[in-house]
Amino acid sequence: MQFPTVAFAIFFLAAFVANWLLRPHPLVWRATMIAFSLYFCAWVDVRFALVVLGVAALGWAAAAAAHRAMPEGDPTPVSRRIVRAAVAAEVAVLAALAYRGFLVDSVTGALERLGWSGSEPVVDVVVPVGISIYVLHAIGYLVDVGRGEVEPVAFADLLLYLCFFPHLVAGPVVRVDELVPQFHERPDPRRVPATDAFVLVGSGLVKAVVIAPWLAEELVDPAFAAPAQASGLELLVAAYGVAVQVYAAFSGATDIAIGCGLLLGIEYPRAFDAPFAALSVRDFWDRWNLTLSHWLRDYVYVPLGGSWRGRHLRPRNVMVTMVVGGLWYGAGWNFALWGVVHGVYVIAEQAAAARAERREPTALLPTALTAPVHWFVTFHLVCLAFVVYRAGTVGDAVEVLGRVLTLAPGGAGLVTPLVLAVLAATVASHFVPTEVTYGARARFSTLAPAAQVAVLAAGLTLIAALGPDGPLPFGRLPF
Amino acid sequence: MSTTDTDAQRAPVPPGWPGDDPTLPDDLDALGARWWWWVGRRTRGRRVGALEGPGSRSSDADRTGERAAEGDGDDWPADDVAVADDELDLDDDPGGAGPRWTDRFRWRGSPPEDREPPDDDEPLPVDDDDLVAGVQPAGRVLVVLVATLVLALLVNVDDLVARVEAQPPGPARDRTLAVLHPVQDVGNALQLTRIRDALDALSGDGGDGPAATGRDGARRQDGDRAAPRGDGGDEPAGDGEGEEGTERDDGPRAPTPDDPLRVWVGGDFMAQAIGRSLAAAGDATGVVETEVRYEAASGLTRRDYFDWPAAVEEALDEHDPEVVVLVLGVNDAQGIVRPDGTPAQVDEPGWADEYGRRVGELMDRLGGDGRLVVWIGPPPMREPGYSARMAAITAIYAEQAATRPWVHVVDLARVVGGPDGAYADAVADPASGAPVAVRQPDGIHLTDVGSDLVAAHVMDLLRSQVDLSGAPGGDG
């Protein structure tokens, strides 16, 4: 089931009514929300719900066993082994279901290059909805329990934490201690933050339904389908387009998820925080898909040793973490390479920062220019990485970058004033403080319900009219 | 700052709330405070504990955490937005007197009792966080949500039908369409669908488009178009096994601006997009007038769902088109019932025979009176199995047209397919050579550019058969 569909709207209305009516009854509420979430998972294939149940059962049993092996509350060798085995099993489930094609293709490709001609028949496995989200949640829970940071939770709580439908499509990725306590709270049904929720869902729809597919169709897809036809300037704008398109698709989906959560009385942390306003690549990762960044830090970077096991290991840890993060966005070597590029950026920045600490501070730039120059460089480094992300192969990426750098002639008529305006407006919106919208939000809040209905229906109609004619491209999101 | 007083956290009773109930309400009627009461009433300023949603940067800043200080990941880029562990103690008793975990989201600023009582006469404070968040009872939110979705559904129902019919044939699609069609009738009856049409026109998505859209053609704009010419509409051309309609020497006359060429486009959802592009291209000539009739999820296999031969008959009577463009096949890869009542599935041998018979009958009916028939087959699809079935259907069209010279079959694999005729997301623009995306992300629909390419191909075909220069001299 996808967010911007009539089916989801009807589904959500039913969930909304059930949520607020049953909230006074915790057990019934949890059972009902689990039923809704499993139905959401099973929309495409009923077996997907079984996968969620399996992942939850494994996580719950292993966490309980690990906790029993920690009588003092601190990790023991036994508890560590249990957690490692369970995490390995969860990763295996993810690899088998979401990355199988990628892995098989990579292995057979390598074998063929070595002279093996046997081709492995690839079974067409349909990837369960949201599998990367709930497997990441399960791993986080296991590690947290294994570290003694959280107590094991009831199976129903864990199952609902893993599969709660608002975050299943594209996150946010939340920690167990961010969500499960809310399942035990009873939010005031008279105080639903409706305007905040409507604004989030509306802005999410504009980004995910209007901007992302439009940019893909008008600029990015044609440019990258035949880069030799486009001029260097067009490919440069297409690189900006990829960055804005990916941002719009992912942040749009998470905004919708957060808005739906608010309407149900569940609050998620923010996932995107004006990433294109970043002044360094590290700042970018402090703003881009924050919740995933936190997960990667806590469950990949830190277990690898972070920075405290020796500075010489830090670059390796950063690189591994970035590659894992890249692969979350898609099962392909281009996504892994995108992670490598960002890993290089972060390592270089850390090295530069460390060197700067040892030296006398010297002002290379006038103070007034420092921030704009940092922003300009960061933005272009990020867009450069997105060329790798979008290009199917390294060769394609090199071709695109070569044509950009040489300002290759040509022209496919892809860059129009409207394309430039949409790109500029999206990037510029990152510099607009949230407070600017407070007046409009307050005015909307004071409207009579009938007027609110008119405004919201007009907004939905506008989004539908400007969106693509066919089904919406949520298939481009990760699993 | 958060408060520890759970009573203080409870919102004051909003205006209209039936009494100061110390317990939270349990039913939607109470949640909505009798929703009908709210209709037409403005929300008064309720300045209670300020709610902060997760969308503001300051709430992220509040979560600046100590996790980074543990030394594990102190140089990780996202460190400084870590979650504060001390706020996330699972051992907190939710009902106890201690700080609640969600306090950090929900309550900021002074406890409610520290504030001045609300004054309804006072202007609404726009800086009130609560007002900005638009805090409302759940029941009222439900009413707003339901009314919004119903209104948006009625306005956009034509578009929704087109989206649903783009899905591969199957029971789920049929069920959805069975629900949407009555809604579509209501939307058309209330004229609400005109709002969406106007928006599409403004956005250039059909502004110059066909005069008629929709399943029943209710909004067809006949205007002052000339009355049907000649009496050919009464002739049962279908009797003649094709020979009768082969007066190719006559062909369509050379149209003029005063007496334009009458083109009628019919078919499934593809006809909507292609018809729109074709109408725009025809308008550009100044001598072509285009009518479009499309029907969601229709085809030639399911006459019980929509009877295209009858619709064509009606169109011949009403418009007497000189050129008929049919766009069919996308929905036809499904079981068919033969005249003797026995069904045949797509892969069974009898299916192609029965489908071919129906195609041939319709082609025969369209022949005669010098009418030109352009039969557009389905394009290749991204899904290989679906694409193979579409190719088989196009082959049946070509086979039937081979003996009917008034029919020209357009194989879309040559127009919007790759060099080998297979599915392609983008093709080279014949004019500029630049790559253009011709398929939507679903791998089924054409993009506007793709529809324009098909329309340009059909216009080239028309020009090869009809003098569209607009010069007088046609025999009318």
**Does residue A344 sit in the same domain as residue A461?**
yes
> Is the pLDDT reported for residue A387 higher than 80?
yes
Query: Are the C-beta atoms of residues B336 and B278 closer than 8 Å to each other?
Result: no
**Does residue A143 sit in the same domain as residue A252?**
no
CA dist., res. A216 & res. A204, Å (int): 17
**Does residue A177 sit in the same domain as residue A99?**
yes
| B368: contact with A, CB 8 A cutoff | no
| Confidence grade of residue B34 (pLDDT, cut at 50, 70, 90) | very low
A450: chain B residues, CB-CB within 8 Å? 39-40, 147
Q: What is the pLDDT of residues A157-180, one digit of tens each?
A: 899 998 888 888 777 888 888 888
> Is the pLDDT reported for residue B434 higher than 50?
yes
- Tell me if A477 is assigned to some domain: no
Residue A230 burial (C-beta neighbours within 10 Å; 0-12, 13-18, 19+): buried
CA dist., res. B452 & res. B456, Å (int): 6
Q: What is the pLDDT of residues A184-203, one digit of tens each?
A: 878 877 788 888 899 999 99
**Does residue A140 sit in the same domain as residue A273?**
no
Query: Are the C-beta atoms of residues B9 and B49 closer than 8 Å to each other?
Result: yes
Classify strands A192-193 and B435-437 as parallel, antiparallel or unpaired.
Answer: unpaired
- Tell me if B315 is assigned to some domain: yes
Mean pLDDT, rounded, for A391-420:
79
B100: chain A residues, CB-CB within 8 Å? 185
**Does residue A322 sit in the same domain as residue A387?**
yes
Q: pLDDT at position A260, please?
A: 92
Q: pLDDT at position A233, please?
A: 84
> Is the pLDDT reported for residue B238 higher than 60?
no
**Does residue A308 sit in the same domain as residue A366?**
yes
Do the Cβ atoms of A17 and B142 come within 8 Å?
A: yes
**CA distance to partner chain B, nearest, from residue A181 (Å):** 7
Query: Are the C-beta atoms of residues B289 and B225 closer than 8 Å to each other?
Result: yes
- Report which DSSP code applies to A435: G
- Report which DSSP code applies to B446: B
Considering only residues B110 and B147, tell me which one the structure prediction assigns the higher pLDDT.
Answer: B147
Given A183, A203, A227, which residue is the final one in a domain? A183
Provide the chain B residues 393-422 that lie in CB contact (below 8 A) with chain A: none
Q: pLDDT at position A113, please?
A: 60
For chain B, percent of residues with pLDDT exceeding 70: 59
3-state secondary structure of B97: coil
Q: pLDDT at position B265, please?
A: 92
Given A138, A156, A183, which residue is the final one in a domain? A183
Side chain identity, residue A474: F
> Is the pLDDT reported for residue A431 higher than 60?
yes
From A84-88, A219-223, B86-90, the region with the lowest mean pLDDT: B86-90
Neighbours of B61 (CB within 10 A): 10
**Does residue A179 sit in the same domain as residue A223?**
no
**Does residue A418 sit in the same domain as residue A455?**
yes
Chain A with chain B: Cβ pairs closer than 8 A: 326
- Tell me if B458 is assigned to some domain: yes
**Does residue A177 sit in the same domain as residue A202?**
no
- Tell me if B169 is assigned to some domain: no
Among partner residues A13, A411, A442, which is closest to B126 by beta-carbon distance? A442
- Per DSSP (E only), the strands in B32-172 are 135-136
Query: Are the C-beta atoms of residues B157 and B183 closer than 8 Å to each other?
Result: yes
- Tell me if A319 is assigned to some domain: yes
| Confidence grade of residue A471 (pLDDT, cut at 50, 70, 90) | very low
- Tell me if B132 is assigned to some domain: no
Do the Cβ atoms of B73 and A466 come within 8 Å?
A: no
Residue A260's domain spans which residues?
194-466
Tokens read off for B35: 């929703």
Q: What is the pLDDT of residues B168-205, one digit of tens each?
A: 666 777 777 788 888 888 888 888 888 888 887 776 55
The residue of A414, A445, A456 whose CB has the most chain B CBs within 10 angstroms, and thus the best one to mutate to test that interface, is A445
Do the Cβ atoms of B138 and A473 come within 8 Å?
A: no
Residue B440's domain spans which residues?
209-465
Q: pLDDT at position A179, please?
A: 87
Question: Which among A468, A397, A473, A375 is positioned nearest to A238, based on CA atoms?
Answer: A397
Number of structural domains (chain B) is 1
| B191: contact with A, CB 8 A cutoff | no
| Centroid of chain to Cα A424 | 23
**Does residue A84 sit in the same domain as residue A161?**
yes
B140: chain A residues, CB-CB within 8 Å? 194, 449
- Tell me if A142 is assigned to some domain: yes
- Tell me if A33 is assigned to some domain: yes
> Mean pLDDT for chain B?
66
**CA distance to partner chain B, nearest, from residue A411 (Å):** 7
- Tell me the CATH number at B391: 3.40.50.1110
> Mean pLDDT for chain A?
81
Mean pLDDT, rounded, for A399-424:
81
Q: What is the pLDDT of residues B362-402, one digit of tens each?
A: 998 888 777 889 999 999 988 888 888 888 899 999 888 88
Classify strands B288-294 and B261-267 as parallel, antiparallel or unpaired.
Answer: parallel
Query: Are the C-beta atoms of residues B333 and B389 closer than 8 Å to each other?
Result: yes
Q: What is the pLDDT of residues B260-315, one digit of tens each?
A: 889 999 988 888 889 888 888 888 888 888 888 887 678 888 877 788 888 888 88
| B196: contact with A, CB 8 A cutoff | yes
Question: Which among B30, B43, B241, B17 is positioned nearest to B131, based on CA atoms?
Answer: B43
**Does residue A220 sit in the same domain as residue A149?**
no
Q: pLDDT at position B234, please?
A: 32
**Between the CA atoms of B265, B271, B273 and B276, what dihedral angle is there, to the nearest 10 degrees?**
10
Number of structural domains (chain A) is 2
**Does residue A40 sit in the same domain as residue A80?**
yes
Do the Cβ atoms of A20 and B28 come within 8 Å?
A: yes
